[in-house]
Amino acid sequence: MNPVPDRRPPDFSRLAAVGPYFALDTSPAGGPPEGFRPLTELYGTGPDAPLAARLRVVAQRLGTAELRVAASILHLGLAARFWSVGLGAAVLLGTVPTLEHAWVRIPDQGPLDLWTPAEPVRPAAGPLADQLHQSVLVGQLEPLAAAVRAAAPLSPRLLLGNAASALAGTLRVLDAHAPGAARTLVAELLARPPLAGSGTLRTGPRGTAFRRTSCCLYYRVGPGAGLCGDCCFSTPPGRGKRTD
């Protein structure tokens, strides 16, 4: 007798156990919790758009007058949020949620809150790498990059480097919960367009290491900011030099 396939929907609540960046709220509450707005609004442009408002807050907290520096750091954090949900679900649940019906709330501190009604969180079709490419890269990071570039002058190459860096960072977190399970997926995504050429991933018994081919500009926050661990530079470049 053939076993009856498990047709229960994926339990996305399991993702929160990895950390707040991985959490996806699918509670059937009849509607989004208070303070949430459609995720698509995050990608709106203009001075009153949610992303532009958040950008001003990030710049103030970083203490930088360079809007593009704050925009890059904001983009890096949001990319990590979306990769965490997608890659975490792929590794722990064997599927990737689509987020076209998701709602978002931007808290004062920490990663943004994501809520989506349970029913529309249907799994994408195809191999997991294809699901991640479509759901995260195409579905979220492409409109996010367009919105960020509308708010600050950043190059597409820098933003692709941020996306790759965020993906590698998500892998390091997942490696602590499911050792080795995400490495093949991440390596495949980094080897295909548009992330191909954005950095080099190395894996081994002691973990993973990534070195990007661009700079996120964090060193420009101020004296002593230093470089990120995966930066293309070994020492901070001169302050007058463009690095994007």
The whole-number average pLDDT for the span 74-93 is 96
CA–CA distance, 68 with 51 (Å, rounded to integer): 13
Give residue-wise pLDDT tens across range 29-68: 677 888 899 999 999 988 788 899 899 999 999 999 999 9
Higher per-residue confidence, 236 vs 1? 236
State phi, psi for 114 to the nearest 5 degrees. Answer: -120, 130
Give residue-wise pLDDT tens across range 94-148: 999 988 889 999 988 889 999 988 765 666 778 999 999 999 999 999 999 999 9
Contact call for residues 89 and 10 (beta carbons, < 8 A): yes
Contact call for residues 23 and 16 (beta carbons, < 8 A): yes
CA-closest candidate to residue 230, choices 240, 218, 243, 242 = 218
The whole-number average pLDDT for the span 223-243 is 80
Mean of all residue pLDDT scores within the chain: 89
Helix (H), strand (E) at residue 61: helix 50-62
Percent of the chain with pLDDT over 90: 67
Q: Which pair of tokens denotes residue 195?
A: 């992330």
Give residue-wise pLDDT tens across range 1-18: 443 345 567 889 999 999
Q: Which pair of tokens denotes residue 93?
A: 């649940």
